[in-house]
């Protein structure tokens, strides 16, 4: 009888205690959009939590965007170039990382996001939308959207311009 009770206890422990959480369901529409957006930008924004320091060293990254000379005084470019978008986002990544670190305190997870937004000819951001299936139900999309709204991009002549930018969040 005692032996049977131990067998039942171990069987229950195996079923209850060793179960893994299911991975989030794949989103084919998001994956297709991700493939298109990541090809259109000079570099993807990678953000690591502090515990994952160094993990991204093994990931092949896009080359750094070289600084371009400023246009002549008074001569604004016709449109906002993706190199300028990458440069502005890269210079503001620390604010986006704060969003991710806050989320990591609640639940450790990694994932991708596509941030869609409009930039006026004055460089102001509006109409921010964050598509991040891996972070559905969390505050990360709202926080990242708020940080992108605060960014200021270089001025240009023909605005507003729609932008989609990929982010990868890597945790331990």
In the chain, domain spans = 25-68+75-170
Query: What's the pLDDT at 4?
Result: 47
Tens-digit pLDDT profile for residues 104-133: 888 888 999 999 999 999 999 999 999 999
- CATH 3.30.70.360 assigned to domain 25-68+75-170? The reply is no
Residue 155 in this model has a pLDDT that exceeds 80: yes
Percent of the chain surpassing pLDDT 90:
48
Tens-digit pLDDT profile for residues 59-92: 444 444 444 455 555 688 999 999 999 999 999 9
Q: How far apart are CA 167 and CA 43, in angstroms?
A: 9
13 in the Ramachandran plot: left (φ > 0), alpha (ψ -120 to 50) or beta?
A: alpha
Residue 162 in this model has a pLDDT that exceeds 80: yes
Higher-confidence residue of 122 and 35: namely 122
Q: How far apart are CA 115 and CA 135, in angstroms?
A: 13
**Span 152-160, mean pLDDT?**
91
- The chain-wide mean pLDDT, for the chain, equals 77
% helix / strand / coil in the chain, to the nearest 5? 45, 20, 40
Question: Six-digit token pair at 169?
Answer: 């969040």
The dihedral built from the CA positions of residue 106, 94, 131 and 55, taken in this order, carries a sign that is negative
0.85 exceeded by the pTM? no
pLDDT-derived band at 100 (thresholds 50, 70, 90) equals: very high
Query: What's the pLDDT at 44?
Result: 80
């Amino acid at each position: 009888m005692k032996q049977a009770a131990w067998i039942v206890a171990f069987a229950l422990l195996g079923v209850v205690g060793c179960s893994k959480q299911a991975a989030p369901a794949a989103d084919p529409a998001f994956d297709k959009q991700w493939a298109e957006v990541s090809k259109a930008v000079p570099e993807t924004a990678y953000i690591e939590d502090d515990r994952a320091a160094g993990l991204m060293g093994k990931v092949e990254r896009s080359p750094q965007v070289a600084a371009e000379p400023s246009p002549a005084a008074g001569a604004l470019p016709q449109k906002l170039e993706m190199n300028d978008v990458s440069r502005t986002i890269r210079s503001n990544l620390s604010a986006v990382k704060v969003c991710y670190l806050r989320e990591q305190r609640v639940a450790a997870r990694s994932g991708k996001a596509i941030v869609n937004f409009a930039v006026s000819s004055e460089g102001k951001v509006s109409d921010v939308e964050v598509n991040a299936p891996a972070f559905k139900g969390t505050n990360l999309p709202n926080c990242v959207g708020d940080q992108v709204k605060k960014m200021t991009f270089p001025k240009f002549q023909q605005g507003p311009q729609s932008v989609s930018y990929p982010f990868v969040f890597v945790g331990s």
